[in-house]
Amino acid sequence: MTLEQIIKTRRSVRSYTDESVSKEDVLKLLDMARWAPHALESWRFVVVREAEGKDLLAKAARQDFIATAPVIIVVGAYVDVFAEYHSVWHRWDAYKFRGLFYIQTTAAAIQNLMLSAVEMGLGTCWIGSFNEGDVAKAVGFPAGVRPVALVPVGHPDKTQKKAERVPLETIVSWEKYTPVPE
Ligand SMILES: Cc1cc2nc3c(=O)[nH]c(=O)nc-3n(C[C@H](O)[C@H](O)[C@H](O)COP(=O)(O)O)c2cc1C
């Protein structure tokens, strides 16, 4: 598959077969994730495979389908790393470290992971809606690690529908921003 085919065939997969996902495949996904651009490699990953942990995460997200995936990868951002480093990296603004960098770093890793899954015949879904405290508790994140996303991983149980996107010209401006007409 070309990169364009991988990008355009990836769909959110919310229904999985009973087939398991091997530890090697999970490690491959996480290896690909960590080659994303990063600020201080602040991503942290917890792999949840046992039913008890998956159920806690599904409850934290109020999305039952998550627990039906053989694996859920919890992506966290080690927020404290920015506090530790910004004092020596003066030219980098502390707010950006804390407020934006860790979000962008983890998002880039998640996208790498999800695209790699397509190439491996696996299905994923980006889960961003959940109770942060409940997710942190379920996987034992300490105060300095913030849950950013859950990524259920499994073998897709059916072909995904073709996706739509709004026309490119409604989201692209040249030189200056043009509001989208109501
Ligand atoms: C930040 C973010 C949060 C998301 N949260 C959820 C979620 O909580 N539950 C869910 O089923 N899908 C979630 N999604 C997936 C989107 O619904 C999905 O990517 C979008 O509808 C486009 O469909 P596609 O992924 O099939 O192209 C989220 C995606 C992103 C990027």
pLDDT tens for 60-117 read 999 999 999 999 999 999 887 766 665 555 555 555 555 788 899 999 999 999 999 9
pLDDT (mean) for 164-175: 93
Share of the chain above pLDDT 90, in %: 75
Nearest to 124 by CA among 156, 102, 94: 156
Candidate from 11, 12, 161 with most ligand 1 atoms within 8 A of CB, to mutate: 12
Confidence tier at 35 by pLDDT (50, 70, 90): very high
Q: Does 40 have pLDDT greater than 90?
A: no
3-class DSSP assignment, residue 76: strand
Cα(173)–Cα(168) distance, integer angstroms: 10
Task: Encode pLDDT of 15-33 as tens digits.
Answer: 999 999 999 999 999 999 9
3-state helix, strand, coil in the chain (%, to 5): 45, 15, 40
- The residue whose C-alpha atom lies closest to atom 27 belonging to ligand 1 is 11
CATH 3.40.109.10 fits 3-170, yes or no: yes
pLDDT (mean) for 132-148: 96
Which amino acid, one-letter code, is at 92? W
Q: Does 179 have pLDDT greater than 90?
A: no
| Average pLDDT score, the chain | 91
Question: Do residues 51 and 67 make contact, with C-beta atoms less than 8 angstroms apart?
Answer: yes
- 169: phi > 0 → left, psi -120 to 50 → alpha, else beta; which? alpha
- Looking at the CA of residue 11, tell me the nearest atom of ligand 1: 26
- Looking at the CA of residue 129, tell me the nearest atom of ligand 1: 8
- pTM for this one? 0.93
Q: What's the pLDDT at 162?
A: 82
> Where do the domains of the chain lie?
3-170
Cβ burial of 101 (10 Å; 0-12, 13-18, 19+) is buried
- How many CB atoms are closer than 10 A to CB 53? 17
